[in-house]
Structure 1
Amino acid sequence: MATLTVPEVVTSPAEDAEQLRKAFQGWGTNEALIISILAHRNAAQRKLIRQSYAETYGEDLLKSLDKELSSDFERLVLLWTLDPAERDAFLANEATKMLTSNNLVLVEVACTRSSLDLFMVRQAYHARFKKSLEEDVAYHTSGDFRKLLVPLVSSFRYDGDEVNMKLAKSEAKILHEKISEKSYNHDELIRILTTRSKAQLNATLNHYNNEFGNAIDKDLEADPDDEYKKLLRATIECLTYPAKYFEEVLRLAINRLGTDEWALTRVVATRAEVDMERIKEEYYRRNSIPLDRAITKDTSGDYEKMLLTLIGHGDA
């Protein structure tokens, strides 16, 4: 369920490329023109614009944007213009680097994309970085984090709705046992979370809740400062209720002292075409303020305009 507004009649990729070229020329960049084109094109259309731009002007559109724009607005436009699989590969690579390391980003990419999408991310990663995502994740993590993250990013789950209730029952019991024993890194617990389909996991966790009287994330909340448990909770939420997970990321990004633009940019760029409506509903339910109003209070200028357009409230 996407929010992105794409005009009824879209100009050709060649015309869009020409308009973007004009936006870069003359005195100062025409940011409004860039927003009016790119923020109103879906992934397939943006890909064609990039192709047309490269054919006509002999330069990657991303390079031109990089030269012309700056700061948070630049990062948002660049992430948005990238093909979704390339974008995820870039974010995942950045998340394995020492200065920008972020295990939660790896969980997002591994757990909120479809199996095919994640497979395409791994292919894009090979093409761009001449290594595998798995090897970088394994190299840059250790201990329990590595034990959980490597199988998550290499997973190819069944994507259908078939559910085995008997299995859900027995695996709910295993999860409850391991969590009660505080064996959060147990092989069986990790096997269940990294291999089962999302439908199967939902059935297992529903059974867990009904049978043991507590939702699994509540049972994992005991120690909020434990980074590994935080990652486990994020894994479960991303697999079973992504809108709730992303609402929380946005809330923390906006409500902290000084906005976390990094997180705000990432969530809007990666979810605008996926489930932004659900995330907005969740945000309003949790905060009693619409997401667009929260963004307006916390951001400004072209960055704010681009964010609002992508979440479906812009009039650019």
Structure 2
Amino acid sequence: MATLSVPEVVPSPLEDAEQLRKAFEGWGTNESLIISILTHRNAHQRKLIRQAYADTYNEDLLKALDKELSSDFERAVLLWTLDPAERDALLAYDSTRRFTSNLWVLVEIATTRSTHDLFEVRKAYHARYKRSIEEDIAYHATGDYRKLLVPLVSSLRYGGDEVNNTLAKAEAKILRDKITNKAYNDDDFIRIISTRSKAQLNATLNHYNNSYGNAINKDLKADPNDEYLKLLRAVIKNLTVPEKYYEKVLRQAINKLGTDEWGLTRVITTRAEVDLKRIKEEYHRRNSVPLDRAIAKDVSGDYEKFLIELTGHGDA
């Protein structure tokens, strides 16, 4: 469900590296050339370009981009150029820091990445920061947040489609009992949410819906201002209907008084190669405006061009 368009005949990584070098030389930077190359290369191709650039010019491409570009455009290009696991490690690290604390980002990484991808993120985090992601979350998050997030990022969920319906029914009842008793931080509640495969969890939540007449997230709105419950709802949404979660992040980022560029950049760069097509469809359905048009109305310049290329044109 990616939107990324890669040309049928892709130049060699060395050719791309040479073209990028040309974009940096002379009077002013050729931003259009940078956009035309990087937005039409997949993660593997971008990795090879970085390698070729380092081998040829003895400089990290990211450092070169950092020197040449600025503000939101720079941030978007750097995030996009990073290897996906490195990118997530960086996002996770930033989201635990005191001044950039954003637990929602950790929820996104822990719930919408495949088990293999999450494992790669943890390895990249370890390599880059010389400690584990669990360690940092346990240190920076407190109370119920810590209790929920540590098992979520440590999870190695089964990725297949097999479902045990008897178990789903039994666990739907456990979830219902815990919610009825407002035991939202209960060990069993967190165990079910953080360890079951997505297919199994979907079956459990369908049982919940059918047996108790309400979607679980409706029942978790007992106190709409409770931040922990908001996070819990985000976890469930991301594990079951991530496109609805991301549509809301984009809607809030774009409709804010003054755009939330960070939210916009994060969603586009992390989902362009995954499920952005579905997110775009959901955005159009919910807002009656194609996502690329909403972005074009809200941001400008090279930053706009870069995001539009990654988003893909048209209404889908």
TM bin (shorter chain): over 0.9
For 1:39 and 1:19, the matched residues in 2 are separated by: 14
Q: Provide structure 1 residue ranges, at least 5 long, that are not aligned to the other structure.
A: none
**Partner Cα distance (1:177, 1:298) in 2:** 45
Is 1:299 the equivalent of 2:299?
A: yes
Question: For residues 203-222 of structure 1, what are the structure 2 equivalents within 5 Å?
Answer: 203-222=203-222
CA distance in 2 between partners of 1:289 and 1:216 (Å): 29
CA distance in 1, matches of 2:57, 2:182: 59
> Which residue in 1 is equivalent to 2:152?
152
- 1:224, CA displacement in angstroms? 1.9
| Counterparts of 2:123 and 2:17, CA distance in 1 | 27
Q: Deviation of residue 182 (structure 1)?
A: 1.0
* 1:236 to 2:228 alignment: no
Cα deviation for residue 225 of structure 1 reads 1.4
* Residue of structure 2 equivalent to 1:64: 64
Cα displacement string for residues 113-138 of structure 1 (whole angstroms, at most 9, x for unaligned residues): 00000000000001111110000010
Cα distance in structure 2, aligned partners of 1:23 and 1:149: 42
Q: Secondary structure at the match of 1:228?
A: helix
Specify the code of the residue in structure 2 equivalent to 1:138: A
Query: Map of 1:1-316 to 2, 5 A cutoff?
Result: 1-313=1-313
Determine the C-alpha separation between the residues in 1 that align with 2:222 and 2:5: 42
C-alpha distance in 1 between matches for 2:122 and 2:41? 25
Q: Which amino acid aligns with 2:28?
A: G
Counterpart Cα distance in 1 of 2:87 and 2:144: 27
1:268 aligned partner, one-letter code: I
Q: Distance in 1 between matches of 2:220 and 2:264?
A: 26
Shift of 1:191: 0.5
| 1:100 aligned partner, one-letter code | T
SS of the residue aligned with 2:151? helix
The amino acid across from 1:107 in the alignment is V
| Counterparts of 2:46 and 2:36, CA distance in 1 | 13
Structure 1 stretches of 4+ with a deviation exceeding 6 A read none
Return the offset for 1:148: 0.1
Give 2:46's aligned amino acid.
Answer: R
User: TM-score, structure 2 length as denominator?
Assistant: 0.98
Shift of 1:39: 0.5
Deviation of the 1:222 alpha carbon: 2.6
Q: Deviations over 1:164-214 (max 9, x none)?
A: 000000000010111111111111100000110000000000110011000
CA apart distance, 1:9:
0.8
| Counterpart Cα distance in 2 of 1:28 and 1:116 | 41
Q: Name the CA distance, whole Å, in 2 between partners of 1:27 and 1:206.
A: 60
CA distance in 2, matches of 1:284, 1:263: 18
Per-residue CA deviations over 1:1-35 (Å, capped at 9, x if unaligned) read 11001011111100000000011111111100000
Please give the per-residue CA displacement for 1:223-248, whole angstroms capped at 9, x wherever unaligned: 22111000000000111111111001
Matched residue SS, 2:29:
coil
SS in 1 for 2:163: coil
Measured against aligned partners, the alpha-carbon deviations of 1:265-295 in whole angstroms (never above 9, x if no partner) come to: 0000000000011000100111111111110
1:36 deviation in Å? 0.4
CA shift, 1:313, in A, is 1.7
SS in 2 for 1:46: helix
1:220: how far off?
1.1
AA aligned opposite 1:104: W
Distance 1:248 1:50 in 2: 33
CA distance in 2 between partners of 1:261 and 1:221 (Å): 28
Structure 1: how far apart are the matches of 2:157 and 2:70?
A: 39
Q: Secondary structure at the match of 1:65?
A: helix
User: In structure 2, how many angstroms separate the alpha carbons of the residues matched to 1:299 and 1:76?
Assistant: 13
2:193, 2:76 → 1: CA distance? 32
Distance in 1 (CA, whole Å) between partners of 2:303 and 2:224 is 33
C-alpha separation between the residues in 1 aligned to 2:138 and 2:74?
A: 31
Give deviations 1:86-126, integer Å, cap 9, x for gaps: 00000000001001011000000000000000000000001
Q: Which amino acid aligns with 2:249?
A: V
C-alpha separation between the residues in 2 aligned to 1:117 and 1:254? 28
Q: Give the drift of 1:219.
A: 0.9
**What is the CA–CA distance in structure 2 between the aligned matches of 1:98 and 1:62, rounded to whole Å?**
25
Please give the alpha-carbon distance, in whole angstroms, between the structure 2 residues aligned to 1:73 and 1:176: 46
